[in-house]
């Protein structure tokens, strides 16, 4: 009897965590990066809950996107300096020899520099590779990618791994990236879970709006 009660209780707790995760996730995708910063600063426990939910989601996938970034970096010189925007638990930094600057809102690891990714404490043109792995979350995408452009050296690489269903119009997105000063080097659209896009910084962003730069929020279904 008490075994059944415990099982029921565990199931209720799971449900509640699931609901809380989906709610937090929705807030992250529908607010600006500054709203996200405020949210997690006010409630660090929410961040840990969010990350548990995130881990559970990604474990269902056949491959973790961050592993693709790891493989990419291992093929290139270890001397390249990397910035990981929205680094989570710093799997990337832990898996490569490169110097990796890790940025996130709350430190899941001592390697993390806590900041809003729209404003990272790096000098202009100081990194070779900027990474957004499932991390393009705020509604102020243009500002966030502008920050990546600022810290990237000319000719530097921008890697984006994002949930496939977030792209409304991939061609419009790539055109907008061009406006932001990023040339598409390669795009891997083969996975139905996530896309991996590689860009090179060709110069500063052209001023003005980039309307194609839109991603749908990634809202997880109740399971």
Residues that bind ligand SAH (CB under 6 A): 28, 33, 36-37, 54, 65-66, 86-88, 91, 103-105, 116-117, 133-135, 137-138
Q: Is the CB of residue 131 less than 8 Å from the CB of residue 159?
A: yes
User: How many beta carbons lie within 10 A of that of residue 215, not counting itself?
Assistant: 18
Q: How far is the CB of 138 from ligand SAH (least distance, A)?
A: 5
| 217-to-82, 124, 214 alpha-carbon distances in Å | 26, 30, 9
| 90-to-103, 140, 207, 210 alpha-carbon distances in Å | 9, 23, 33, 31
By C-beta, is 59 or 222 nearer to ligand SAH? 59
By C-beta, is 57 or 184 nearer to ligand SAH? 57
Q: How far is the CB of 131 from ligand SAH (least distance, A)?
A: 7
By C-beta, is 37 or 128 nearer to ligand SAH? 37
Q: How far is the CB of 143 from ligand SAH (least distance, A)?
A: 10
By C-beta, is 27 or 99 nearer to ligand SAH? 27
By C-beta, is 17 or 178 nearer to ligand SAH? 17
Is the Cα torsion angle 69, 111, 86, 177 positive or negative in sign?
A: negative
Cα 61 from Cα 65, distance rounded (Å)? 9
Q: How far is the CB of 84 from ligand SAH (least distance, A)?
A: 7
Q: How far is the CB of 196 from ligand SAH (least distance, A)?
A: 12
Cα 79 from Cα 134, distance rounded (Å)? 25
Q: Which two tokens stand for residue 193?
A: 């879970």
Q: Which two tokens stand for residue 182?
A: 């990023």
């Amino acid at each position: 009897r008490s075994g059944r009660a415990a099982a029921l209780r565990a199931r209720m707790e799971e449900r509640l965590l699931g609901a809380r995760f989906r709610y937090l996730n929705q807030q992250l995708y529908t607010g600006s990066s500054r709203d996200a910063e405020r949210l997690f600063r006010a409630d660090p426990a929410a961040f840990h809950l969010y990350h548990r939910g995130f881990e559970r989601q990604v474990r269902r996938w056949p491959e973790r996107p961050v592993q693709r970034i790891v493989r990419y970096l291992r093929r290139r010189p270890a001397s390249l300096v990397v910035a990981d925007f929205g680094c989570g638990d710093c799997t990337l930094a832990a898996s490569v020899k490169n110097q990796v600057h890790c940025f996130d809102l709350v430190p899941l690891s001592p390697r993390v520099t806590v900041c809003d990714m729209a404003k990272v404490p790096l000098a202009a043109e100081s990194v070779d590779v900027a990474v957004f792995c499932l991390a393009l979350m705020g509604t102020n995408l243009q500002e966030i990618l502008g920050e990546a452009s600022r810290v990237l050296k000319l000719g530097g690489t921008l890697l984006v791994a994002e949930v496939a269903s977030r792209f409304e119009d991939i061609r419009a997105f790539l055109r907008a990236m061009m406006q932001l000063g990023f040339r598409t080097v390669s795009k891997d659209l083969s996975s139905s879970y996530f896309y991996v896009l590689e860009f090179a910084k060709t110069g500063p962003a052209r001023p003005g709006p980039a309307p194609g730069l839109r991603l749908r929020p990634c809202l997880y279904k109740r399971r």
